[in-house]
A and B are shown apart, each in its own frame.
Chain A
Amino acid sequence: MTAALRPRPAHSPLMVLGTLGIVAALSVLTSVMLGSVPLSPGEVRAVFLGQGSDLARMLILDLRLPRTLAAFATGGLLAVAGALMQVLLRNPLADPYVLGISGGAAVGALLAMISGLGLAWVSGSAFAGALLSTLIVFGLAHGTGSWTPTRLLLTGVVVAAGWGAVITFLLAVRPSPELPGMLYWLMGDLAHARGNALPWLTLFVIIALALPLGRSLNVLARGPLQAAVLGVPVRRLEWTVYLLAALVTAVAVTTAGTIGFVGLIIPHMLRLVIGNDQRLLLPASALAGGILLTLADTLARTIIAPEQLPVGVITAMLGVPVFLFLLYRSRT
């Protein structure tokens, strides 16, 4: 990037991303230092230097660090998916789950649990359910000829409601021993996050794929006809964004269940501060989403230890006041 570019006085991209990066690093550090078993900063430092007691090493390297990284990646994925959905549907109120993806994933996971399959199967089944839901919605919304965002949204909402009914049905008729495991899917829970490679890989890939599409997305946000006449391949771009957003959401839901609020609020909040340039909004969303979920999860597992709160409750409690404050400030 050359210097004489974005003439926005207060928010150069470098400053925004740099600030978010620093906050991200701090939030990861905080999350690793806090837990239901108190560890002194000295002990934490010792672990990172390769020393430290066995217990401290195990707590930090085997429990807290993987969970923190999973939280960060999942938060980033949800926020990016939310931003993409909002562009796709040209609606700032869209979130990653609006097209029924989380419902499909939950049904897939529940069916696998009911069949008594192992955890790897549950994750795979959740993923398959998410993609299936994506195809159903897209196929139904396509109908005869072109689909509009409104049609897509309506179809998605109806399909999501359908999945909700299936979930309620499954919960009602299945024996209770499986119930707690099933409920996790609906509340979202990072305690059950398994493996970090996939979420992080997906996060990097989605940013790498979405950045070159950024300007086209900016133009698309001005309306499909305007975008088409400026040379944007609208239909192809919308398909691509839809599939990418669905994939990203599927990975997030498979990792940590359906954690709400992050995908809706983060892009919205950032937009109030840095505007709607997708080239900046997408990476910023990834960082800010990661920060929010990391901090929320840290609180969820420490506030009433040894009990835990559902992390979705905390994301709402953190996100709503900040969002309202920004909204109020931008009213001028």
Chain B
Amino acid sequence: MTAGAEGSGSGSGPAPAGARAPRRPVPWPALVLWLCLPFAQAGASERGIVVVDDRGRSVELAEPAQRIVSLAPHLTELLFAVGAADRLVATVAHADFPAAAREIPRIGTATQLDLERLMAARPDLIIAWDSGSPRAPLERLEHLGLTIYYSEPSDFGGIGKDLRRLGRLTGSDDLAERAAKDFEDAIDALRARYADRPPVTIFYQVWDQPLMTVNDAHLIGEAIRLCGGRNVFGHLEVLVPRPGRETVLAADPEAIVSGGPGEDRPDWLEPWEHWTGLTAVRRDNLFFIPPSLIQRHTPRIAEGTRMLCEALETARSRRGPETPP
């Protein structure tokens, strides 16, 4: 990487003076990436950093990003995980993990951006959430020449990819690689241990009013499979189905796992306790997982998945002599 390269498509606005990335004599991380990872499109070139984002767009920087803006709480987490937190200049409301994220200046919410403050932060890289960030303002920013990376990991592999790509873009390849590897190792370990266990039917509750769950294509659906679970609504076409309570009763899952309105509020399990006919209720297989550990697409989902797998294992242990189908 050459510090003096003009490079392609860097951000607009005055570049912070004197803040250039240190030269690296031998690009070992780059070689490792080339040899070990399947996505051949990303690579370091003499022109700068080129990465493909989750939308298939090519994102190019002349040099690693120095002023990063993150447009969603989970994206902020990812940036912390790859060690780029010191270069985060702005983010949106509800970015609360890790605790240091709360100190970062806000520029609105994930759905309502304050473009003026965003531009005043003079970012050279914006990390956006493909399905969540508002399209029109981002289009305007693209027109004005700002560099945007759209993230949308839809499975465990996607989280690893995002970590590595963000590592590239921020010149944090080592840390990113380590974080990605740790994450993938944790997931692989869980998979090895639980994926082939006897299946447990499960209903995962994303929201309470209205009742919302996920199907097999969702990231949480993948976690369920990994833990040897069978999502009773997995076969539905909609990514986030809204079944009625009766439908759940009819499906009679062996375990019910839910999030809640807060990190330590299993409020949504209470309504189920009235239905004493449910298998899950009879065997006391009602489990709460703090939503930020499993509903955010970050490395912490490994922790949430571990809790899910242990919950399902507990459910298995409560099966009596009569083995359920």
Chain A residues engaging chain B, CB cutoff 8 angstroms = 35-37, 54-55, 58-59, 62-64, 119, 172-173, 175-178, 180-181, 184, 191-194, 301, 305-308
Beyond A119-B136, A119-B139, A175-B238, is A306–B14 a contact (Cβ under 8 Å)?
no
Chain B residues engaging chain A, CB cutoff 8 angstroms = 12-14, 93, 106-109, 111-117, 119-120, 122, 131-132, 134-137, 139-140, 144, 212, 238-240, 242
List, in ascending order, chain B residues with CB within 8 A of A59's CB: 116, 119-120
Q: Are A63 and B112 in contact (CB under 8 A)?
A: no
Report how far A53 CA is from B135 CA in the complex, Å: 28
Q: Rank and list the top 10 A-B pairs by shortest CB-CB distance, nearest first.
A: A306-B114, A180-B111, A192-B136, A177-B131, A37-B120, A306-B108, A37-B116, A36-B116, A35-B116, A175-B240
Beyond A58-B13, A180-B134, A191-B136, is A36–B114 a contact (Cβ under 8 Å)?
yes
- Find A55's partner among B114, B115, B120 (CB 8 Å cutoff): B120
Report how far A301 CA is from B116 CA in the complex, Å: 10
Beyond A191-B112, A307-B109, is A37–B137 a contact (Cβ under 8 Å)?
no
Closest beta carbon of chain B to A60's beta carbon, Å: 10
Residue of A nearest to B207 (CB): A176
Beyond A191-B137, A192-B137, is A63–B108 a contact (Cβ under 8 Å)?
no
Report how far A143 CA is from B131 CA in the complex, Å: 45
Chain B binding surface SS class:
loop
Q: Are A181 and B135 in contact (CB under 8 A)?
A: yes
Closest beta carbon of chain A to B194's beta carbon, Å: 28
Report how far A175 CA is from B113 CA in the complex, Å: 22
Closest beta carbon of chain B to A302's beta carbon, Å: 9
Closest beta carbon of chain B to A30's beta carbon, Å: 15
Report how far A185 CA is from B39 CA in the complex, Å: 39
Report how far A180 CA is from B131 CA in the complex, Å: 10
Q: Are A191 and B115 in contact (CB under 8 A)?
A: yes
Report how far A176 CA is from B218 CA in the complex, Å: 13
List, in ascending order, chain A residues with CB within 8 A of B137's CB: 191-192
Report how far A320 CA is from B237 CA in the complex, Å: 47
Residue of B nearest to A67 (CB): B115
List, in ascending order, chain A residues with CB within 8 A of B111's CB: 180
Cβ contacts A to B, 9 pairs, < 8 Å:
A35-B116, A37-B116, A54-B14, A59-B116, A62-B144, A181-B135, A184-B134, A307-B108, A307-B109
Report how far A55 CA is from B14 CA in the complex, Å: 8
Closest beta carbon of chain B to A300's beta carbon, Å: 11
Report how far A14 CA is from B131 CA in the complex, Å: 52
- Find A306's partner among B106, B136, B242 (CB 8 Å cutoff): B106
List, in ascending order, chain B residues with CB within 8 A of A36's CB: 114, 116-117
Q: Are A58 and B119 in contact (CB under 8 A)?
A: yes
- Find B122's partner among A55, A175, A181, A308 (CB 8 Å cutoff): A55
Closest beta carbon of chain A to B247's beta carbon, Å: 15
List, in ascending order, chain A residues with CB within 8 A of B112's CB: 180, 191, 307-308
List, in ascending order, chain B residues with CB within 8 A of A172's CB: 242
Given contacts A37-B116, A176-B212, A177-B131, 6 further A-B contacts (CB under 8 A): A36-B114, A37-B117, A63-B116, A180-B132, A192-B136, A308-B114
Closest beta carbon of chain A to B239's beta carbon, Å: 5
Residue of B nearest to A35 (CB): B116
Closest beta carbon of chain A to B309's beta carbon, Å: 26
Report how far A308 CA is from B111 CA in the complex, Å: 11
Report how far A150 CA is from B145 CA in the complex, Å: 53
Report how far A305 CA is from B108 CA in the complex, Å: 8
Q: Are A58 and B135 in contact (CB under 8 A)?
A: no
Beyond A54-B13, A55-B120, A58-B13, is A305–B114 a contact (Cβ under 8 Å)?
yes
List, in ascending order, chain A residues with CB within 8 A of B13's CB: 54-55, 58
Q: Are B144 and A58 in contact (CB under 8 A)?
A: yes
Closest beta carbon of chain B to A18's beta carbon, Å: 33
Report how far A306 CA is from B242 CA in the complex, Å: 33
Report how far A229 CA is from B139 CA in the complex, Å: 55
Closest beta carbon of chain B to A185's beta carbon, Å: 12
Closest beta carbon of chain A to B137's beta carbon, Å: 6
List, in ascending order, chain B residues with CB within 8 A of A181's CB: 134-135
List, in ascending order, chain B residues with CB within 8 A of A192's CB: 134, 136-137
